[in-house]
Amino acid sequence: MHLNDKIAIITGGNQGIGRAAATALAAAGATVIIAARNEASGTQTAEFIQSQYPSYAHFYKLDITDPSAVNEMIQIMQKKFGHIDILVNNAGICSLSLPFEDLSIENWDNVMDVNVKGMVHCIKAVIPFFKKQMTGKIINIASLAGEVGGIATSADYVASKAAVIGITKSLARYLGPYNINVNAIAPGFITTEMTAAMSIPTGSIPLRRAGNPDDVANGIVFLSSARADYITGTTLDINGGLYMK
């Protein structure tokens, strides 16, 4: 699954699944651009990748809820490298499970702004370049919650991740004629900073363990590679068997 000469943008690539994805893509040969709000952890991640692999890594401070900032970043990266090949929409926020009536409209707006609208801003910005190239890979990070209604997360998060899956299918149909692959990954219980406060019921997971970010990163590399050229519109479940279709 060599990604030599590929340019990959990973939103939220400074920690958790995003950091693991950025590292795995670099290990496969891609140049990685880590787009995130936290400059300290983003810069540290880029420096770590460059110390471990010959691939180039760069941090770009970005708030994906700002469409003008997203457009500027995509324009800069396209001009700098001449092409963009992979977009991983990983940035997201999550809240622990709350009663539906306790979720404020502000809760809903915040989650949708990042998890759905932020992803949409990034995809809209990159589509013109992917169309012109007649190639590109878009990987959207959804969640098991969006498929089963949530286990430890609130309805706002569940709805946002269900939207990610629906948008992925819609885009796969729309962009297929341009040879652009659009897929989603739905992680189950993955041990990250965001899930640290959750009680993970590993006894109900057939593989009897929570996943780790590398488990998801491996799926991202696969969907980014030529081995997934005939896969589009799918949601890859990485959940240890907790949910089976």
Out of 53, 157, 230, 243, the active site residue is: 157
| pLDDT given for residue 110 in this prediction | 96
169: containing domain? 7-189+213-237
For the chain, the three-class secondary structure string (H helix, E strand, C coil) is: CCCCCCEEEEECCCCHHHHHHHHHHHHCCCEEEEEECCHHHHHHHHHHHHHHCCCCEEEEECCCCCHHHHHHHHHHHHHHHCCCCEEEECCCCCCECCCHHHCCHHHHHHHHHHHHHHHHHHHHHHHHHHHHHCCEEEEEECCCHHHHCCCCECHHHHHHHHHHHHHHHHHHHHHHHHCEEEEEEEECCECCCCCCCCCCCHHHCCCCCCECHHHHHHHHHHHHCHHHCCCCCCEEEECCCCCCC
Q: Is position 164 within any domain?
A: yes
Q: Active site includes 157?
A: yes
Q: Is position 197 within any domain?
A: no
Local confidence pLDDT in tens for the 245 residues of the chain: 799 999 999 999 999 999 999 999 999 999 999 999 999 999 999 999 999 998 789 999 999 999 999 999 999 999 999 999 999 999 999 877 788 999 999 999 999 999 999 999 999 999 999 999 999 999 999 999 999 997 778 999 999 999 999 999 999 999 999 999 999 999 999 987 766 666 677 888 999 998 999 999 999 999 999 999 999 999 999 999 999 98
> Model's pTM, two decimal places?
0.95
Domain count, the chain: 1
Q: Is position 175 within any domain?
A: yes
